[in-house]
Amino acid sequence: MFPPLRVGLSATLPPPNILVIFGATGDLTARKLLPALFDLFCARKLPAQFCIVGFARREKSDDEFRADARASAQRFARAKPDDARARWDEFAQRIFYHTGSFDSFDAYTRLAERLRELDTTYGTQGNRLFYLATAPEHYALIAERLGAAHLAPPGGPWERLIVEKPFGNDLASAHALNRQLLAIFDESQIYRIDHYLGKETVQNIFAFRFANTILEPLWNRNYVDHVQITAAESIGIENRGEYYDKAGALRDMVQSHLLQLVALTAMEPPVSFDATAVRDEKIKVLRAICPLCDRDVDDVVVRGQYDAYRTEPRVAPDSNTETFVALKLMIENWRWAGVPFYVRTGKRLAKRATEIQIHFKPVPHPLFAHDVGNGITPNVIALRIQPDEGIYWEFAAKRPGQAIQLSNVRMDFCYADSFGAAPGDAYETLLLDAMRGDATLFNRNDEVEVAWSLVMPILERWAQLPPPRFPNYAAGTWGPITADELLARDGRAWRAP
Ligand code: BG6
């Protein structure tokens, strides 16, 4: 029998622990972390001995922080405090706030005392999960202060660190951050987030590929013509101009989420579903991606900026930051040699849709006459990561009637229909996994660095070129025309998700 995915860990309650969130007054805490925790609490997936301590610079009382948390849960969680008042009250009793500046030794000494008191009251047994949800420039400092404060004695309870994205803003800074964190924490204690890995549909790539016999013989260069991965967003940059204008789509989406999707689509079956085995296979794919030289960058990487981007708040009026990227990657290994992986992502595109499409080769012999098979395209399997989570297979079928006429039809699997509910939020899975000590869905240090090394030639080449002619696409479209030309040169076209 096929071993259960992620070997039984997923069914167990995590051990007692305290979650300390650095950056407790920030956007991520409000939109994602507190709502996910309340949903987990309502689903009885958190241990009874559990508390949350929000750490931030702003002065706030426990009760004020609880009121903020309630408003966040009401807005963003599936369970609503207004409807589940008793559950909310129980949850709120476990929420605390600690005012402190990230560089103050005293703040960490006081934190240590407070955590010890909470251990006594709530039975949290000294286990600590620190979540770095601050601006990235504080990550190394907080880790260093945590190390100096000796919050957990060695050999005793566990201490883990969750590090939010972005992990560095180029290879050198990612490498430096790894070095700084690894000077204090062991790699096994560090959980680098890529929230795409927590998405149910992204984990389902494992199940779909490795729990179904019929796919494996087809999933390679013998049958696959090319792969298209699209992560399209209809929203713009919202209020994140300050961060986004320095990052751009290549850093923000390609280096992390999209390369992860490539790795999961292309990886070999791991020997088991433990963190080391899965991450070893993913990194082999990333290492097999052909590095791009300057000429490749000019030929196979396209960038764009939507028309109103330069008027967004906290964006430079002459900004050359890309809000769209499309590129062609080649994976030089036995399975994928010669099969292009076309990847694109952008803001303010025609719709919100993330999809991985496997485009198969045409049949070797066109048995059906041209007019009969008119409009028939080769088979496509598409993994709909979001929204309308599911998978479909598109194939040719005979239309009813005496004449032989073919049409493309679809077999469709939809999560909501098959399982009666849309998948939960990625952060719920990731928080539980970190509490349980399962790092399978987190990035290892080498993985992050290899991903950076793949995008560095693009960043370096762009830095040498004259400014691009931006803006170059209208909001609500599929990006610049050059993205279509990229595929047209290979005799292919993007297929809208
Ligand atoms: C984040 C990026 O990592 O992912 C955002 O910083 C992007 O710019 C977001 O909007 C997309 O995530 P999702 O889950 O909405 O696809």
pLDDT for the residue 155: 64
In a domain, 371, yes or no: yes
Are both 254 and 301 inside the same structural domain?
yes
Are both 472 and 350 inside the same structural domain?
yes
In a domain, 1, yes or no: no
Whole-model pTM: value is 0.94
Mutate to test the pocket of ligand 1, among 238, 252, 385 (most ligand atoms within 8 A of CB): 252
In a domain, 172, yes or no: no
pLDDT band, very low/low/confident/very high, at 153 (cuts 50, 70, 90): low
pLDDT for the residue 152: 59
Letter for the amino acid at 445? Answer: N
pLDDT for the residue 6: 52
Are both 153 and 102 inside the same structural domain?
yes
In a domain, 131, yes or no: yes
- Mean pLDDT across the stretch 222-230? 98
Residues classed as catalytic: 257
pLDDT band, very low/low/confident/very high, at 90 (cuts 50, 70, 90): very high
Going from the Cα of 317 to the center of ligand 1, the distance in angstroms, rounded, reads: 24
Are both 355 and 408 inside the same structural domain?
yes
pLDDT band, very low/low/confident/very high, at 4 (cuts 50, 70, 90): very low
| Rg of the chain (C-alpha set) | 24
Position 2 pLDDT exceeds 50: no
Q: Which is higher by pLDDT, 364 or 241? A: 241
pLDDT for the residue 1: 40
Work out the mean pLDDT of the chain and round it to a whole number: 93
| Pocket around ligand 1 at a 6 A CB cut-off | 165, 233, 252, 354
Mutate to test the pocket of ligand 1, among 229, 233, 384 (most ligand atoms within 8 A of CB): 233
Task: Give ∠ CA 487-491-492 in degrees, rounded to 5.
Answer: 50
pLDDT for the residue 9: 46
Mutate to test the pocket of ligand 1, among 200, 250, 256, 257 (most ligand atoms within 8 A of CB): 257
Going from the Cα of 247 to the center of ligand 1, the distance in angstroms, rounded, reads: 13
In the numeric block, the tokens 């680098």 are attached to 192
pLDDT for the residue 437: 95
Q: What does the pLDDT look like over 12-39, one tens digit per residue?
A: 899 999 999 999 999 999 999 999 999 9
Position 156 pLDDT exceeds 90: no
Are both 286 and 401 inside the same structural domain?
yes
Prior bond of 270 cis (ω within 30°): no
Q: What does the pLDDT look like over 251-310, one tens digit per residue?
A: 999 999 999 999 999 999 999 989 999 999 999 999 999 999 999 999 999 999 999 999
Give the 3-state DSSP-derived string for the chain, with helices as H, strands as E and coil as C: CCCCHHHHHHHCCCCCEEEEEECCCCHHHHHHHHHHHHHHHHCCCCCCCEEEEEEECCCCCHHHHHHHHHHHHHHHCCCCCCCCHHHHHHHHCCEEEEECCCCCHHHHHHHHHHHHHHHHHHCCCCCEEEEECCCHHHHHHHHHHHHHCCCCCCCCCCEEEEECCCCCCCHHHHHHHHHHHHCCCCHHHEEECCHHHHCHHHHHHHHHHHCCCCCCCCCCCCCEEEEEEEEECCCCCCCCHHHHHHHHHHHHHHHHHHHHHHHHHHCCCCCCCCHHHHHHHHHHHHHHECCCCHHHHHHHEEEECECCHHHCCCCCCCCCCCCEEEEEEEECCCCCCCCEEEEEEECCECCCEEEEEEEECCCCCCCCCCCCCCCCCCCEEEEEEECCCEEEEEEEEECCCCCCCEEEEEEEEEHHHHHCCCCCCHHHHHHHHHHHCCCCCCECHHHHHHHHHHHHHHHHHHHHCCCCCCCCECCCECCCHHHHHHHHCCCCCCCCC
Are both 335 and 391 inside the same structural domain?
yes
Are both 382 and 481 inside the same structural domain?
yes
Separation between Cα atoms, residue 4 and residue 163, nearest integer Å: 28
Q: What does the pLDDT look like over 38-87, one tens digit per residue?
A: 999 999 999 999 999 999 999 999 999 999 999 999 999 999 999 999 99
Residue with the smallest CA separation from ligand 1 atom 15 is 233
Q: What does the pLDDT look like over 100-142, one tens digit per residue?
A: 999 999 999 999 999 999 999 999 999 999 999 999 999 999 9
Going from the Cα of 257 to the center of ligand 1, the distance in angstroms, rounded, reads: 8
Letter for the amino acid at 443? Answer: N
Q: What does the pLDDT look like over 365-392, one tens digit per residue?
A: 877 766 666 678 899 999 999 998 999 9
The structure tokens listed for 112 are 């240590």
In a domain, 437, yes or no: no
CATH number of the domain residue 76 falls in: 3.40.50.720
Percent of the chain with pLDDT over 70: 96
In a domain, 458, yes or no: no
Please state the atom number of ligand 1 nearest to the C-alpha of residue 237: 8
Are both 315 and 229 inside the same structural domain?
yes
In a domain, 36, yes or no: yes
pLDDT for the residue 8: 42
pLDDT for the residue 422: 74
Percent of the chain with pLDDT over 90: 87
Separation between Cα atoms, residue 130 and residue 17, nearest integer Å: 10
CATH number of the domain residue 371 falls in: 3.30.360.10
pLDDT for the residue 371: 60
Number of domains comprising the chain: 2
Q: What does the pLDDT look like over 441-478, one tens digit per residue?
A: 999 999 999 999 999 999 999 999 999 999 999 999 99
Are both 414 and 286 inside the same structural domain?
yes
In a domain, 415, yes or no: yes
From 123, 143, 164, give the residue that closes a domain. Answer: 164
Are both 216 and 159 inside the same structural domain?
no
Are both 110 and 254 inside the same structural domain?
no
Are both 146 and 23 inside the same structural domain?
yes
pLDDT for the residue 12: 83
pLDDT for the residue 424: 82
Domain span holding position 113: 17-164
Residue with the smallest CA separation from ligand 1 atom 4 is 253
Residue with the smallest CA separation from ligand 1 atom 9 is 253
